[in-house]
Amino acid sequence: MMIEKNKVSWISRTKLIVLLNDTKLSNDILSIKIINSEKLSNLNNLSTYNQINKFTIVVILKDFSFFIGLPFPFSKKDCKSIEDIEKTLKKDLTLGLLFYELGSWVTGIIEYKKVLFSKRGSRYVKGKHKAGGQSQRRFERNREKWIESLQNKVHEDIKNYMLPKKKKFDYFICLGDIHSLNNFINNTNLKNLFGEKIIFKKSNLKNYNSKTILKASSNLWSSKIYLDDKNAIVEKI
């Protein structure tokens, strides 16, 4: 399997498992390290790894290394070998989901490549003020009311459909524009409802629908991977 050198890319769960089980690669591994992702924050190519996971797996070979950012939290002691990493990747997980944007949202419950539940909703939120109409101040007041109505409805859906099944969730993942998500979280008690199970992820998707949840049942299990040619970065850390 070809991985582009010195470039961060996404790799599916299936392809990553195939890569890690490549006989030649397995035989050439010198060591496997688990590092704090914050150590990579000053490296342009790898600066986003701390947004994916607290820890990054570094598979070191003689001529190159792989930096792997797994999609879900894991314990350092659980990923000391290729077998451990594969076991972590294959772990059965049930996820509660919220895709949130101004105007629409989708809640869902998924397992790997399986949608157990999904519900879509929408509320009108006008995006821009047009000159010649209502005053800017009045528009802003109306927009605040639209957003408040949207947030109340999303919160209601979460309490009605997600919260009763909270105990089944390994994680509750919130995806969307970070600014809009933060605004929603700050105006609700979502963090208190889901505690340590809650994970925030940036999403550039728009116009959420049932297909959004279906795609997420595969895409959310993808990892970030970076092939460090000639171990240029490994030598720095």
pLDDT digits (tens, 9 = 90+) for 72-106: 999 999 899 999 999 999 999 999 999 998 888 99
Global confidence as pTM = 0.89
**Confidence tier at 15 by pLDDT (50, 70, 90):** very high
Residue pair 59/68 in contact (Cβ under 8 Å)? The answer is yes
User: Average of pLDDT values for 125-140?
Assistant: 63
pLDDT for res 152: 94
Q: Which fold has domain 95-219?
A: Nucleotidyltransferase; domain 5 (3.30.420)
Structure tokens at 167: 């105990």
Q: Does the pLDDT at position 123 exceed 90?
A: no
Give the number of C-alpha atoms closer than 13 A to the C-alpha of residue 73, restricted to the C-beta side: 12
For residue 222, which amino acid is it? Answer: S
Distance separating alpha carbons of residues 213 and 231, to the nearest angstrom: 38
pLDDT for res 91: 96
Residues of each domain in the chain carrying CATH 3.30.420.60: 95-219
How far apart are the two ends of the chain, measured CA to CA in Å?
A: 26
**Confidence tier at 138 by pLDDT (50, 70, 90):** confident
User: Average of pLDDT values for 175-197?
Assistant: 91
